[in-house]
Structure 1
């Protein structure tokens, strides 16, 4: 080995250590120094591309991998990494082509098999994804990251109990943040998961991420003036084309800048047009993609944030562990699917429908009930509301456009009972391009068949459509049926906006009361059933009176548009009032 190559490899090893500590700028600098010493080493270019991809520099990452492919075109790792970059871009066709090439060139590579599995999973082809992820685990049995991906694939294929078991196995091997959060999410979807079991999993995660005594940040040194302008920070990995961003952007547009100064802390490997719009709406934009949780917390602390709002912490790539460092004076959970269980999370935003006074859900935070929890962004390019598709005597079309992971066996039981109660009715199912997967369609056909519903009564929307075309499908739908225990949110709002009433089953936790929260905001809480029999009866009764159903459809869009769900100025004032009350309490205790 030449002296220069040995030095380059030593620098690459140091870069690996920097990546492990999430010091991505340092890692990139070390790899560039290594490449000056050994510019013909494909592995170094591959390592550089990986770091650039982690940092969200996708164009630079692709150039590095392309350079590596010129030096070593038969090296499977290069194509596998290119597939991951294309996946981050959302270019699924290119991602699959590159990932398949990587898997073919390196048939014994667990990484190649996992990458192809991840690509297939993101395309909604969960059965095929599970096979590839299983192959990755055959090659590398105790690989936690592959187990985490497999748990997601199992959730999508109606194997929730197996998904929970895989999550627990992953957690036993390595008690990582991702493994613990995956378990919480899997339990959230599980119909028979009790309140205590879920809260225990949430609390176990919180205990793992809390810093050791004496190892945290200095206490926030914010000035305890109860009336001064507040610094409010929003923490999210969803500041992009995502339902959370599309809702929160209306708050950002309507914040009273005399009352609040707004910061955004964004983890965004692949920012998009909506990211840039959000950046333009805030006073301070902080990209935390390239730094670890402690560094991000230090940044928030040094910015003097009074109220830190953690958005949807349990889901996606969000980083609620940052809050464990207590970087802000007051910390608030918003748009999350359950309690953070963090002792340093002060409040959880909700409303009376989501958490009535008799709620049995367990949580560590103080509940702050807004007059209405949900605020949705107005939808551009709305197709017109059609007349009732069934008319006065035609067959009724029910529908669910929710994620298939939300369609649990108990919900299928209820849907089948509804179809039996409404003769000649049919059920339309769509979620992105999930039902383009023949295995997914067949699984639902068999599930309904076992419940007495023939295949010809099922309609599958198979294409990933632009939003206006997707919404136009509701012109074929008479009534939407919600999911349980995890209700729809954006999906239900879209149905209601298109004039389609939603029948929901209200449960005992936040995620199973989203439907009743939305309907209450519209004065339609009578469409929320309190038990299984009530759900079937409600859906059947709604279809029995066609005149009433047609009138409801005709007026539903106007009802939505004049409701609190789209009243961003009033909603934002309520939110600011809640922040001010929390701030006053902090000042009193300071």
Structure 2
């Protein structure tokens, strides 16, 4: 007579059908044969018939509820299906049945870790190790969770203790290296990986980890050599390889492929909340905010608000879509968490637009975020020595660091400055890692610099070494903490003076940034305590405008989809800057000003749908919202002339958008905020001589907008003054702006040459 043991032997030899046939024969004779049901459940699970496996394992639990193995097997299956909350209960029952069973505590730890309950997972793993000190998998997983908690010293102790039990296990050296990599000790991590690869050149885990280290360092070619061949490697979990490959593709700029790979990784078992968060960030980068929000909501349902960064990402994607569901509750929770933690649970750039955060909060967020660059600060001593130059025979070398030297808002603001730098006193370098779109702006920028250096293919260290070798005296970062920044280069300190300007309106909270260029409106001197940089003051606005004349072919209202009659309120700010409070004010104006319309920038249908829905809730017909899409910069400036009054947002003002309005001769009404990003429009208006368009609160904002909409003569006078000022105000004079900027650079250099630390620089 056939036995379960014989059937299992056949299955092990690959004779699946015969094995299952023998098991079925046993079950026909004795339907409740527990061993046969267990064996058939295992066979079904291993051949991908998961629904059948679940049914069989549940039957085993019913027949033998006091056998812990049945609970563990069913829980393991549920874990693989992503039903982690269900799995937890079965693991708990197994432990209740046999409290001294190490594997039960280990599997329970895996479940808790997947649920984001890391403190409980640590206790479960420690219990497994207490029962079985040499339990390899429990020790490894405990180390991983401790690393996730940033308890690196404890993780190192766990790994080194495990090495005492498994001294010849190369994987432990790799995990030790992973801990060092996360701890900010890349050199020590590399030594561990290379020690393993020296003995085992094709060791898959060591190759994977070394590849991830190269991704961290932007050494993408070397990372690809290590990671890409591993896709065929059977000794690694497929999900781990797919995650690494996704990270590589994302860093190479192919977010779409990265997203697909990460989805595949999650399906393959890499089902962790961090991966959902990463996927959502990449979806947002390719402007698929709807899907990003869906992924975040899915993660929230599966794991709760783990990791803590998820709430900030959820809010920022909602804001980009003008989806204000749960707005008050989520904003309140996020603000409370930011105020009560020292961890970086939100990116500094996202924090800038969160209502309820003050300047002290923004500095706290920036400082927490800046800590991740400390490993690079520690490596700065490895850069080549700087050559001391004779200033009497050398021009000051200025390097501008950015990936936006193409058709981009930053380029439109700065191109004229780069062109007008005094070449007798300054030598101007660009360090670029952005796209070459072969646009007219790109060609203009290539001509504007003395040297245009592509660093996209260089690692962070090699890029910093190149900047050091070029003898740059003052490195000006135009990115700050915005998308695609390479702050690691600045952390390596390639230059004696490093400056934050224009791209990021706030303190970077970093020891490696010496100055931030501001003006007295964006950062009054009594706000200096909210900046770790020293303040370098421009006499007028901190932001330039390009005064190169543009021929504007004014379109008709019909061309822009606007009604022929009626007052046109306009806000071309990105939708994420619109808050429910500011939208309330706009709708009040539409109610009061008969025939008026609100002209907004929106490309996504979901944004239009959500704003129309919000308008209906406020008693405004959706057709009174007119939506504009993206056009060329020249066409955008031209269509702006059709607006009667531009309305600003708060707490994050119009920046380039405000500059565009003023350049087109259209008044923009702003409410002065507390933080840098909420004071930019006021800065530009003051420099343009239009300070009467600055109000102090939203009641005054609404009242002034209503007044101007009902007093056309007053509005005409404002427009005439604004257009006349384009020929004489400091704001519209790029030459004067550049000389004032150069004065700041000269003072920075003089202070450095005298051996003094950075200090506040008053305007010229």
State the TM-score, normalized to the length of structure 2: 0.60
Asked if 1:251 is matched to 2:417, the reply is yes
| Structure with larger Rg | 2
Quick one: distance in 2 between partners of 1:512 and 1:49?
Answer: 37
SS of the residue aligned with 2:650? coil
Quick check: 1:346 aligned with 2:518?
Answer: no
Please give the per-residue CA displacement for 1:107-135, whole angstroms capped at 9, x wherever unaligned.
Answer: 98879988985676457663443013434
Partner of 1:327: 494
Deviations 1:222-255 (A, max 9, x none): 4373784111111123223221122222222111
Question: For 1:48 and 1:284, how far apart are their aligned partners in 2?
Answer: 34
Could you tell me how far apart the structure 2 residues matched to 1:46 and 1:192 are?
A: 36
Match runs of 1:355-434 below 5 Å: 355-359=523-527, 362-372=530-540, 373-377=542-546, 378=548, 380-384=550-554, 395-431=566-602, 433-434=603-604
2:644 to 478, 503, 527: 478
Q: 2: CA distance between counterparts of 1:51 and 1:214? A: 25
Call closer, same or farther: CA 1:290–1:126 in 2, change over 3 Å.
same
Shift of 1:30: 5.3
CA offsets 1:317-349 (integer angstroms, 9 cap, x no match): 112343233221111110121011223322111
Displacement of 1:505 in angstroms is 0.5
1:372-400 deviation digits (Å, cap 9, x = unpaired): 3221234745233879x9xxx95322111
| CA displacement at 1:547 relative to structure 2 | 2.4
Distance 1:548 1:123, change over 3 A: farther
Aligned equivalents of 2:376, 2:247: Cα separation in 1: 31
5 Å-filtered alignment, 1:59-138, equals 81-82=256-257, 121=284, 126-135=289-298
Residue equivalent to 2:759: none
Shift of 1:416: 3.4
Structure 2 residue aligned with 1:337: 505
8 Å contact kept, 1:222–1:329? no
Distance of aligned partners of 1:507 and 1:332 in 2 relative to their CA distance in 1, 3 Å threshold: same
Q: Give matches, 1:224-373, under 5 Å.
A: 225=391, 228-268=394-434, 270-273=435-438, 274-275=441-442, 277-335=444-502, 336-359=504-527, 362-372=530-540, 373=542
SS at match of 1:483: coil
Distance 1:498 1:409, change over 3 A: same
Question: Within 5 A, what are the aligned runs for 1:426-465?
Answer: 426-431=597-602, 433-434=603-604, 436-437=605-606, 440-450=607-617, 452-456=618-622, 458-461=624-627, 463-465=629-631
2:400 touches 2:430 (CA, 8 Å); kept in 1?
A: yes
Q: Measure the CA separation in 1 of the matches of 2:534 and 2:493.
A: 16
CA contact (8 A) 1:18 1:27 kept: yes
TM-score scaled by structure 1?
0.75
Higher RCO (Cα < 8 Å, 6 or more apart): 1
Specify whether residues 350 and 288 from structure 1 end up closer, same or farther in structure 2 by C-alpha distance, changes over 3 A only.
same
Asked whether the 8 Å contact 1:398–1:428 carries over to 2, the reply is yes
- Residues 251-292 of structure 1 show CA distances to partners (whole Å, capped at 9, x for unaligned) of 221112221112222232x33224454344323333333444
Q: How far apart in 2 are the matches of 1:101 and 1:346? A: 38
TM-aligned CA distance change 1:52 to 1:415, over 3 Å = closer
Distance 1:122 1:382, change over 3 A: farther
Pick aligned residue for 1:497 from 659, 663, 678: 663
Q: How much does 1:311 deviate? A: 1.1
2:245 & 2:369 partners in 1: Cα distance? Answer: 32
SS in 2 for 1:189: coil
Distance in 1 (alpha carbons) for counterparts of 2:328 and 2:402: 27
* 1:344 aligned counterpart, secondary structure: coil
CA-atom RMSD in angstroms? 4.5
Matches of 2:395 and 2:262, distance apart in 1: 56
Contact 1:151 1:164 in 2 (8 A): no
Show the counterpart of 2:317: 153
| CA–CA separation in structure 1 for the residues paired with 2:739 and 2:531 | 26
Q: Does 1:54 align with 2:251?
A: yes
- Contact 1:160–1:186, Cα closer than 8 Å, also in 2: no
Do the aligned residues in 2 keep the contact of 1:416 with 1:448 (CA within 8 Å)?
yes
Q: Judging changes above 3 Å, is the alpha-carbon distance between structure 1 residues 542 and 322 closer, same or farther for their aligned structure 2 residues?
A: same
Q: Alpha-carbon deviations, 1:163-208, whole Å to 9, x = none?
A: 79679999x9997xxx66x432232112211222222112222344
- Structure 1 residues 272 and 332 mapped into 2: Cα distance closer, same or farther (>3 Å)? same
Q: Deviations over 1:139-184 (max 9, x none)?
A: 78867998775453133234487479679999x9997xxx66x432
What's the CA shift for 1:568? 2.2
For the 8 Å contact 1:361–1:509, the answer to whether it is kept is no
What is the CA distance between 1:470 and its match in structure 2? 3.9
Q: Select the residue among 215, 221, 226 that pairs with 1:19.
A: 215
SS in 2 for 1:516: helix
* Inter-partner Cα distance in structure 2 for 1:576 and 1:504: 30
Aligned to 1:537: 703
SS at match of 2:347: helix
The worse-fitting range, judged by mean Cα deviation, of 517-526 and 214-223 is: 214-223
Q: Give the whole-Å Cα distance in 2 for the aligned partners of 1:50 and 1:127.
A: 22
Change (3 A) 1:430 1:496: same
Q: What is the rounded CA distance, in whole Å, between the counterparts of 1:135 and 1:553 in structure 2?
A: 49
CA shift at 1:562, angstroms? 4.7
Q: For residues 381-425 of structure 1, give each alpha carbon's deviation from its aligned partner in whole angstroms, at most 9, with x where no partner exists.
A: 5233879x9xxx953221111111111233223323434553443
Q: How far off is 1:11 after superposition?
A: 9.9
- Work out whether residues 385 and 554 of structure 1, in 8 Å CA contact, stay in contact via their aligned partners in 2: no
Instruction: Quote the offset at 1:214 in angstroms.
Output: 6.0
| Greater alpha carbon shift after TM alignment, 374-383 vs 216-225 | 216-225
Q: Aligned partners of 2:282, 2:373: CA distance in 1, in Å?
A: 29
Secondary structure of the structure 2 residue equivalent to 1:526: helix
The 3-state SS of whatever aligns with 2:689 is coil
Q: How many residues align?
A: 534
| Contact 2:335/2:357, CA 8 A, preserved across alignment | no
SS at match of 1:210: helix
Moved more, 296-305 or 403-412: 296-305
| CA distance 1:482–1:148, change in 2 (3 Å) | closer
Farther off after superposition, 133-142 or 532-541: 133-142
Note the alpha carbon deviations across 1:535-558, whole angstroms, 9 max, x for none. 122212222321232344356445
Within 2, Cα distance between the matches of 1:465 and 1:29?
Answer: 41
Q: Secondary structure, in 3 states, of the residue corresponding to 1:398?
A: strand
